[in-house]
Amino acid sequence: MTLDAPISQAAAIRAIDLSFGWLEDKAILQSCALEVPKGEFWMLLGANGSGKSTLLRLLAGLLQPTGGEVQISPPVGFVFQNPDHQLVMPTVGADVAFGLVREKLSTAEIRQRVEESLTAVSLAAFQRRPIYALSGGQKQRVAIAGAIARHCDVLLLDEPTALLDPDSQLELVAQVQTLVKKRGITALWVTHRLEELEYCDGAFLLESGRVVDRGDPDRLKRRLMQTEEVED
């Protein structure tokens, strides 16, 4: 493990010695340790199958670890890798409002939150649009709007730019970065795309279920670019 800086005590997301496996002898995650300091925007990188989605699900409490512990500041917003697993209402506005039902807000407050969340992801004009009429990238933006409408303290996002073209991808990561900084949200963003690293405060690298590196995003980017060159 490479460390760039001492671990902050004021972490909003913390995994301690976290392990997970469906089968006893085949661990998907092994003794993972990670901490995201409060108010920071970190990314989680790793090859297909390295365990990124599993780790995010454990952090969100959607899976129970087979070893170790998660400490996280609620409320937690979660954006799934596949937006079709997340969007449940017939229209964009109704879907973003859906997550607010349990929060006992006035109709005016719900309207305002739906509007501000959709504006934050450039979909203000899409409130009445049926979900089935959206592109994959637009669905991912609606899923993000739904998560941020709940005014969460922590936001976990699983490859939210996977379905976006390169221009929309960088626009979205910049928008989310601005939003989380403005609201003091602590965020962990899973990605494969090295160009997104310039927007984060720090990054973790997963390899075969282990956190093998963490820290300065530029250094991680150089490390991964070198690996790609060697593989080419």
Residue placing its CB nearer to Mg ion in the complex, 52 or 139: 52
224 touches 217 (CB < 8 A): no
Sheet arrangement for strand 186-190: 76-79, 154-158, 186-190, 41-46, 202-207, 210-215
Tell me if 53 contacts Mg ion by CB under 5 A. Answer: yes
Q: How far is the CB of 50 from Mg ion (least distance, A)?
A: 9
By CB under 6 A, name the binding residues for ligand ATP. Answer: 22, 28, 46, 48-54, 81
Q: How far is the CB of 54 from Mg ion (least distance, A)?
A: 8
Q: How far is the CB of 182 from Mg ion (least distance, A)?
A: 28
Q: How far is the CB of 143 from ligand ATP (least distance, A)?
A: 16
* Burial class of residue 196, CB neighbours in 10 A (0-12, 13-18, 19+): buried
28 binds, among Mg ion, ligand ATP, none (CB under 5 to 8 A by kind): ligand ATP
Residue placing its CB nearer to ligand ATP in the complex, 100 or 220: 220
- The DSSP code for 14 is E
φ/ψ region of 36 (left if φ > 0, alpha if ψ in -120 to 50, else beta) reads beta
Token pair, residue 130, equals: 């049926």
Q: How far is the CB of 213 from ligand ATP (least distance, A)?
A: 15
Q: Which residue has the tokens 């997963």?
A: 206
* Burial class of residue 35, CB neighbours in 10 A (0-12, 13-18, 19+): buried
How far is the C-alpha of 128 from the C-alpha of 93, rounded, in Å?
Answer: 6
Residue placing its CB nearer to ligand ATP in the complex, 22 or 132: 22
Tell me if 50 contacts Mg ion by CB under 5 A. Answer: no
Residue placing its CB nearer to Mg ion in the complex, 81 or 117: 81
Tell me if 191 contacts Mg ion by CB under 5 A. Answer: no
- Provide the binding-site residues for Mg ion, judged by CB under 5 A: 52-53, 81
